[in-house]
Amino acid sequence: MSYCKVIDYKGVKMVYTDIENTNGGEAIPTFDAVQKLVAEFPDKSVLSCVNATNARFNKELLSKIKETVKKNNPKSKATVVCGLSKLSTLILNSIIAATGRKMKLFDSVEEGQKWLYEYEMSTSKQSATA
């Protein structure tokens, strides 16, 4: 079952979206929930980690993902997507190109969360010294 929630990774808050092992339409309600959750955050503040391990995509889900990415763009600081197959990576790259969203792809959730943490630490230091 897919879900989204705010998690704490080493003291850094992230919006974690888990669509692992879902197929097509099963994940659509989760992306509706992501839109509602992210809307509560200030602009350019959301660190987002999506676990898409073994997820299957259909046209409806891809449309919902595009909608979610566009809607959440103003709130997004950084996004990682983890666990994609080679084909899914190609599909996501087309979404990234269409929406202009900067996303990093990782094989595992741990790698993605670590990158978000390090990104947050490096940008926090830069803004503190500016």
Question: Rounded distance, CA 16 to CA 109, Å?
Answer: 10
CA 92 to chain CA centroid, nearest Å: 11
CA distances (Å), origin 14, targets 5, 27, 44, 113: 8, 19, 13, 8
Q: Which residues pair with 78 in a beta bridge?
A: 47
Looking at residue 2, the DSSP 8-state letter turns out to be -
Question: Rounded distance, CA 12 to CA 35, Å?
Answer: 20
Q: Extract the tokens encoding 79.
A: 């996004």
Spatial CB neighbours of 13, under 8 Å, sequence gap ≥ 6: 6, 7, 47
**Structural domains of the chain, ranges and CATH numbers in brackets:** 3-129 (3.30.750.24)
The pLDDT value recorded for residue 97 is 80
Percent of the chain with pLDDT over 70: 96
Handedness of CA 78, 83, 72, 37 (dihedral sign): negative
Per residue in 45-72, pLDDT tens? 999 999 999 999 999 998 999 899 999 9
Spatial CB neighbours of 93, under 8 Å, sequence gap ≥ 6: none
Per residue in 15-37, pLDDT tens? 999 999 999 889 999 999 999 99
